[in-house]
Structure formats: structure tokens, C-alpha cells
Amino acid sequence: MITPAYLKKGDTIAIVSTARKNIDDNLKPTIDMLEGWGLKVKLGKTIGLDYFQLAGTDEQRAADFQAQMDNPNIKAIWCVRGGYGTVKIIDKLDFTKFKQYPKWIIGFSDVTVLHSHLNRMGIESIHGTMPVSIARATDEAKNSLCAALFGDTLRYTLECDALNHKGKAKGELVGGNLSILYSLLGSESAIDCSEKILFIEDLDEYLYHIDRMMMNLKRNGCLSSLKGIIVGAMTDMKDNDIPWGRNALEIIEDTVKGLNIPIIYNFPAGHIRDNRTLIFGRQVSMEVNAKESKVIFE
């Protein structure tokens, strides 16, 4: 895997929207934080655009992202928020220059489209909190993003969850938002889970949808060759009038319980304030025992 150059003081980071619009004046906390880290900030042309739910037309969002990819003065691209829409521009992007001079792409949720696409290209990317969330993000979430961008080692030690599967594993971390991973199957951006460690999280889904998506991953062979699984936050799940009968974590456990691999549940990443940073494409070691769980990035 190719690791983009780590940032240094004086570098410029671009903030753009690949999906939902951001028309509010809400980026001052983010800009102040980045400037406090010694970085310069450039707001893309999609910030402030208003096209129904989206930050401009597909062509406008693609053009903005392309401009930041091709600009040698931009050292990282941070997607302002998720929502829906990144998949509508992914095939409009030309990654030719980006492959020669890769830079960090940062975000989560709908940005999983980019993470999965970049992973298939052999380039690392950063799954972490986004600009609209900085005002309410925990210090741990912000500090872990800073560490990832500047090349410090990411290490997480957590209390053991009752659902965890004990064991040790080492492999490349892939994944992101479960709904997006599910939607990409069969496309050029589909996740490759072979001999990998899979991270998943999701928001605002019906419980039976979680079951359907997990069964799809299973039947597509995405689970059988995994070395490990890390399950992040399953936030604001919904149920029908007739209950499904299990919560999101129990649904996931029912799908993966036959796998003889370590599994961590309730990892602090996803649609929560404490959204710890992960580096997709990076080799990680995970260890799960009765007392604690550890995830260490090489």
C-alpha cells in the first residue's frame, strides 16, 4: 500500500463537499483547530453551494474534488460531511495525477465510497471525524486525527466488551460505513476483504436492514477469509412495529459467530462524538482478551 506524505506545519488542507450541502457558517472551530496545528486551510468551491440536498451538481462536486486532487499545493483533502452523493461523482474523477502524487483523503460515512475506491487502488486513506463535527468532537477524536495526519503511531486500548471474540490477528484494515460497503458490492469500488481486518459502523438504519446487509456480505464471501473484525458504533437504529427481536450488535454477532477470528465490538468510531481515527490500508495488530482489547497501527 502507498502511504501519502504526512503533513508538516505550513501545509495546506482543502475542505470540500462530495455529498450533502454545507451552507451554514459552522467551520470556524475547524479552521481554528487546523491553524492551531500549524496548517493552512482552503475552502473548496462546493462549500456553500446549495443544490437541493447536495453541495452543488454532480459536475460541480466532481470538479471541486478534482481540482484539489490535482493541485500540488494541497496536501490533504477533508470532506466536510457525509449524507449521500459521493457515489454519484466517483466515476467522474480522474485519479491519474493522484496516483503519482497521492495525498490524504479524510472523512467517514458516505466518504466510504472514496476509502473503498482508494483501497482498490492501493492507497491509504483516513477514516475520521469531519469538519462539521469538530465543535462537538471529543479531544480523543481530534487528537487521533492530528496524530494520523502528522505520522504519529495510533494505538488504542479498550475495555473488553461482553460480545468480543478473543484472539490475535494482524492484517490490513479496510471497511467503513456498512450501508455504503453494501451498496458498492459488484462495482469497481467494491471492498476486497480477503485476508483483511474489517471495520464497520452505521447510522439510522432499520434493524432488519442491518441483517440484510450482513447476510449480503456473508453470501458474497466477504466474511469467510477475514482475519478479524472491528465493529464501531451502530447509532440511532430503528425498528418496525413488529420488533426484529435483536439489536444491531446482536444481529452482527449472529452473522459472524461461526468465524474463528478475534472480534471487537463497540469500538469508538463512527457516528459518535468520540470518533477515533483509523487508517484504511494500514497494517494493524489486534489483540482481544478477557480484560482489554488493543488495536495498534504499524
Q: Compute the distance between CA of residue 218 and CA of residue 203 in angstroms, rounded to an integer.
A: 20
Looking only at the bridges linking them, the beta strands covering 196-203 and 228-235 are: parallel
Distances from the Cα of 39 to the Cαs of 48, 69, 276, in angstroms?
22, 18, 21
Inter-residue contact 37 to 6 (CB < 8 Å): no
Cα-atom radius of gyration of the chain, to the nearest Å? 18
Distances from the Cα of 168 to the Cαs of 19, 229, 289, in angstroms?
37, 11, 9
Q: Compute the distance between CA of residue 104 and CA of residue 77 in angstroms, rounded to an integer.
A: 6
**Catalytic site residues?**
109, 201, 271
Its sign, for the CA torsion 113, 116, 122, 128, is positive
Distances from the Cα of 75 to the Cαs of 6, 92, 118, 140, 142, in angstroms?
8, 21, 16, 23, 19
Edge-first strand order for the sheet with 283-288 is 155-159, 292-297, 283-288, 167-177, 196-203, 228-235, 263-264
Q: Compute the distance between CA of residue 105 and CA of residue 198 in angstroms, rounded to an integer.
A: 19
- For 133, the grid coordinates are 463535527
